[in-house]
Amino acid sequence: MIRSITQQKPEEELDQLLDGLGRIFVIGCGTCTTLTRTGGAPEVAKMAQRLSEKGKIITGHVVAPVACDNLTRDALAEYGDQMDQADVLLIMTCAFGVQNIARQLKKLVAPALDTLFMGQETSAGEFNESCTQCGTCILGETGGICPVTSCHKGLVNGPCGGTNNGKCEIDNNKECAWTLIYDRLKDLNRLDAMRKLQKPRNHQGELSPGKFKL
């Protein structure tokens, strides 16, 4: 399952964001941010309490079932009055949810979270970024492990000099993608794929911003 991985903004930044906005309605999400404990019912309640203690008036709070869904406006219809009373909707969902709510409700929104990456749950409670949707997939040549995403520098021709006992130089909690790829290709007896000099990547696979129409 793919999840949108978020973390709460620093309190100082939140306070700045809400400066001059006295009446606030807080919205969480029942899917990703509930799972990552950044915008589920307990976090929404805690946020409402914290803001209340800071002198804000909380006109209400709710956890939307799926904030990025097209039906979110309908799902939140019963909170219409409470939302109308608010100066701003403080949204504890990923940025997809924030934008969806802003588009559907046409209210001033403030994100309470930063959206970090699209994560895949690789073990209970652990999420890893495995695809950046670059538009030019090379997984067929790297044993099904994406170096564009999993290597900090997005290198496609093997490890840099910062590879360190199978870990990345930037964080020893992060794997060196090229150690993983090497191990995988070796197991598959396909190291020849790693020996091929890859051309510079096409960074314009899908011209940003992406658009798709059926």
Partner 1 sequence: MVSPFKKALNSGKFVITSEVAPPKGTNLDKMAHHIDLLKDKVDAMNVTDHQSSVMRFPSLGGALLVKEMGGEPILQMTCRDRNRMALEADLLFASQRGIDNVLCLTGDAVMFGDHKDAKGVFDLDSSQLVAAIRRLEKGEDLGGNKVDGNISFCAGAIVTPEANPLEPQLIKFEKKIDAGAEFIQTQAVYDLDNFKGFMDYARQFPVKVLAGIILLTSAPMARFMNKNVAGVNVPQALIDEMASAPKGHALTKGIEIAGRMVKRVREEKMCDGVHIMAIGKEELVPEIMAAAGLG
N-to-C CA span, the chain: 24
Q: Tell me the closest approach of the beta carbon of residue 33 to partner 1, in angstroms.
A: 25
Residues β-bridged to residue 24? 58, 88
Cis peptide before 10 (omega within 30 of 0): no
Task: Give 59 or 163: the residue with its C-beta nearer to partner 1.
Answer: 163
Q: Tell me the closest approach of the beta carbon of residue 175 to partner 1, in angstroms.
A: 12
Q: Tell me the closest approach of the beta carbon of residue 113 to partner 1, in angstroms.
A: 19
Task: Give 3 or 167: the residue with its C-beta nearer to partner 1.
Answer: 167
Task: Give 3 or 153: the residue with its C-beta nearer to partner 1.
Answer: 153
Q: Tell me the closest approach of the beta carbon of residue 177 to partner 1, in angstroms.
A: 10
In 14-154 the beta strands, taken as DSSP E runs, fall at: 23-29, 57-64, 88-92, 109-111, 113-123, 126-129
Task: Give 88 or 148: the residue with its C-beta nearer to partner 1.
Answer: 148
> CB under 8 Å to 42, separation ≥6 — which residues?
none
Question: What is the edge-to-edge ordering of all strands in the sheet holding 23-29?
Answer: 57-64, 23-29, 88-92, 109-111
C-alpha dihedral sign at 174, 176, 179, 181:
positive
Interacting residue ranges for partner 1, rule: CB under 8 A: 152-166, 169-170, 178-179, 181-182, 191, 194-195, 197-201, 203
Nearest CA among 194, 195, 214, 209 for reference residue 135: 209
Q: Tell me the closest approach of the beta carbon of residue 10 to partner 1, in angstroms.
A: 15
Q: Tell me the closest approach of the beta carbon of residue 170 to partner 1, in angstroms.
A: 5
Task: Give 89 or 194: the residue with its C-beta nearer to partner 1.
Answer: 194
Task: Give 65 or 158: the residue with its C-beta nearer to partner 1.
Answer: 158
If 0-12 CB within 10 Å is exposed, 13-18 middle and 19+ buried, where does residue 6 land? Answer: buried
Residues β-bridged to residue 181? none
